[in-house]
């Protein structure tokens, strides 16, 4: 195989996005566009990758890290000028160079490999990845002569009415003979509608020097969608979401309504899991086999083991172990650990707390900064009082304890195993094993007093 190099163009501001976030960092199915590009590029196994950065250079570098080298394009004078900044890294090296935009996140590795192979097969100096568009507006047009040989690429803004009618578009992805690419770059000028150094002009320059230029047309226009504004961003999300959902269904996951199921790239889901509409699975989430995730649940950066049922709940940075169930309408905040077969019921919030095996926290309860052992029953409306306005305090409850409804456990406090806390008790002292804690005002019944009250009159 010829040595492969790759250049990712990511210096543009993305004016048409009207955003503070740099264009290539806008997410598609949870990952920045340029991250998708980097993953695809790496799968083609180039020897060197150089990313051209400019606007938001630090942020883009932070995202891509050491997977790439970086060329700084201080002023954005066009795509040709961007590639020119890579000269110090690649000029004069033998091999094939893939040039790809940071804003075409849907291109597949298969297509990129096909492009490399087509380029090599044609023994071309340059091969353009093209596609047929129903609506070519905004893209560069591929102009071919009467026998179908590529002559040039004309940008939308430079096209005459005849050229504008052409529906074969430039995807902004190319393979070049690396040495010829850098030779030709020095001949670019800014004599065009946008006053920029167009990379696309390289085609005419190579042809004028008698070099072979080829075009490889992808079957699928959707793949080559260039994201310049938020309309295209929404389209890109939709297309990628469809792909992701399709793959999960092929793997044995049931999606009740795939069009209304939002799963980020990289989320893993086991077979036989059922996912209802309106569910979002985000970030580094992993869902096991035979789970049920009901409507409107949102699960972010969490691990849900096999056989778990999540009913219409929000789960963030948490772990839910085998056979546990959560919800409806529960909120697991960061560092909640729900152990095997535990039950978290409605309107329960858990934060930075371990809920032991088989423990039940059924109703209207807040558990924050706590360690709960096994087989504990937590009544309704219990509050783990963890904050005094300045500091957070930790509470421990031992196995097989019973916490009555409406109890407050004021941390820091240790409740031993096999204890009971009477309903309505405010616990401020440690409770030893086998003790029952009770702390509430004694009840007094005033005989016949109700007769004096308005509701009986
Ligand atoms: C470009 C192509 C067009 C093609 C389309 C495909 C040119 C002149 N036009 O147009 O033929 O149909 O892509 O999506 O190449 N960039 C830089 N530095 C710059 C300018 C741009 O790094 O000075 C980067 C951008 O960040 C972006 C990429 O290059 O990732 C493409 O630039 P963009 O302005 O989006 O080009 P298009 O107008 O879409
Ligand atoms: Ca673009």
Place of tokens 């799968």: 43
Ligand at minimal distance from the CA of 15 is: 1
Q: What CATH number should be reported for the domain whose range is 245-437?
A: 2.160.10.10
d(CA 232, CA 236): 6
Q: Whose CA is nearest to atom 13 of ligand 1?
A: 172
Q: What separation in Å is there between the alpha carbon of 233 and the centre of ligand 2?
A: 11
Dump the DSSP string for 117-177: HHHHHTT-SEEEEEEE-SS-TTSPEEEE-TTS-EEEEE-GGG--HHHHT--EEEEEEEEEE
CATH, domain range 4-224: 3.90.550.10
Q: Three-state DSSP class for 81?
A: helix
pLDDT at 116 over 80: yes
Q: Give the pLDDT mean for 414-428.
A: 98
Active site residue 331: no
Residue 191 has pLDDT above 80, yes or no: yes
Q: Going by CA atoms, what residue is nearest to atom 11 of ligand 1?
A: 140
Same CATH fold, 245-437 and 4-224?
A: no
- pTM for this structure? 0.94
pLDDT on residue 457: 81
Give which of 457, 454, 382, 377 is closest to 425, Cα–Cα: 382
Residue 455 burial (CB count, 10 A):
5
What is the DSSP pairing of strand 366-372 with strand 395-397? parallel
Domain residue spans of the chain: 4-224, 245-437
Cα–Cα distance measured from residue 91 to residue 277, given in angstroms and rounded to the nearest whole number = 52
Q: Give whole-number Cα distances, 427 to 6, 125, 388, 396, 409, in Å.
A: 64, 79, 15, 12, 5
Look up tokens 């490889």; give the residue. Answer: 216
**Opening angle at CA 427, ends 423 and 428, nearest 5:** 165
Ligand 1 pocket residue status of 10, Cβ below 6 Å: yes
- Residue among 26, 81, 339, 363 flagged as catalytic: 363
Residues 35 and 38: their CA atoms lie apart, in Å, by 5
Kindly state if the Cβ of 200 falls inside 6 Å of ligand 1: yes
Per-residue pLDDT, 13? 87
| 311: confidence class by pLDDT, cuts 50, 70, 90 | very high
Q: Which of the ligands is closest to the CA of residue 130?
A: 1
pLDDT digits (tens, 9 = 90+) for 322-376: 999 999 999 999 999 999 999 999 999 999 999 999 999 999 999 999 999 999 9
Contact between 301 and 286 (Cβ < 8 Å): no
Give percent above pLDDT 90 in the chain: 99
- The reply to whether ligand 1 has any atom less than 6 angstroms from the CB of 228 is yes
Q: Is the pLDDT at 445 greater than 90, yes or no?
A: yes
Greatest pairwise CA separation for the chain in angstroms: 110
């Amino acid at each position: 195989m010829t040595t492969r190099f790759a250049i990712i163009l990511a210096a543009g501001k993305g004016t048409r996005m009207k955003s503070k976030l740099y264009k290539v960092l806008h997410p598609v199915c949870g990952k920045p566009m340029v991250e998708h590009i980097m993953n695809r590029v790496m799968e083609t196994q180039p020897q060197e990758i150089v990313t051209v950065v400019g606007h938001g250079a630090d942020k883009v570098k932070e995202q891509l890290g050491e997977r790439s080298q970086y060329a700084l394009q201080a002023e954005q004078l066009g795509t040709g000028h961007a590639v020119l900044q890579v000269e110090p890294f690649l000029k004069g090296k033998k091999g094939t160079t893939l040039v790809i935009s940071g804003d075409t996140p849907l291109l597949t590795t298969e297509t990129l490999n096909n492009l490399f192979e087509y380029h090599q097969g044609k023994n071309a100096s340059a091969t353009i990845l093209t596609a047929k568009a129903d609506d070519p507006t905004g893209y560069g047009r591929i102009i071919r002569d009467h026998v179908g040989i590529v002559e040039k690429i004309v940008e939308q803004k430079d096209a005459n009415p005849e050229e504008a009618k052409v529906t074969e578009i430039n995807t902004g992805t190319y393979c070049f003979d690396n040495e010829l690419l850098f030779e030709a770059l020095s001949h670019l000028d800014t004599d065009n509608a946008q006053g920029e150094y167009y990379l696309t002009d390289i085609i005419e320059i190579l042809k004028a020097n008698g070099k072979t230029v080829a075009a490889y047309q992808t079957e699928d226009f959707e793949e080559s969608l260039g994201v310049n504004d938020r309309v295209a961003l929404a389209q890109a999300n939709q297309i990628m979401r469809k792909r992701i959902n399709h793959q999960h269904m092929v793997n044995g996951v049931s999606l009740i309504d795939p069009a209304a199921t939002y799963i980020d790239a990289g989320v893993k889901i086991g077979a036989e899991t059922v996912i209802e509409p309106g569910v979002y699975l985000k970030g580094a989430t992993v869902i096991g086999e035979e789970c049920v995730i009901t409507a409107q649940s949102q699960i972010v950066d969490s691990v849900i083991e096999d056989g778990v049922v999540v009913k219409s709940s929000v789960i963030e940075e948490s772990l839910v172990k085998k056979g546990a169930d959560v919800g409806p309408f529960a909120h697991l905040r960061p560092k909640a650990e729900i152990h095997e077969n535990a039950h978290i019921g409605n309107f329960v919030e858990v934060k930075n707390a371990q809920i032991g095996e088989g423990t039940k926290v059924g109703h209207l309860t807040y558990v924050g900064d706590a360690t709960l052992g096994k087989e504990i029953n937590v009544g309704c409306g219990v509050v783990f009082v963890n904050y005094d306005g300045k500091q957070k305090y930790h509470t421990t409850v031992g196995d097989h304890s019973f916490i009555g409804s409406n109890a407050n456990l004021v941390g820091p406090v240790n409740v031993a195993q096999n204890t009971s806390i009477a309903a309505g008790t405010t616990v401020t002292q440690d409770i030893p094993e086998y003790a029952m804690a009770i702390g509430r005002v004694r009840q007094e019944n005033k005989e016949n007093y109700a007769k004096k009250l308005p509701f009986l009159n």
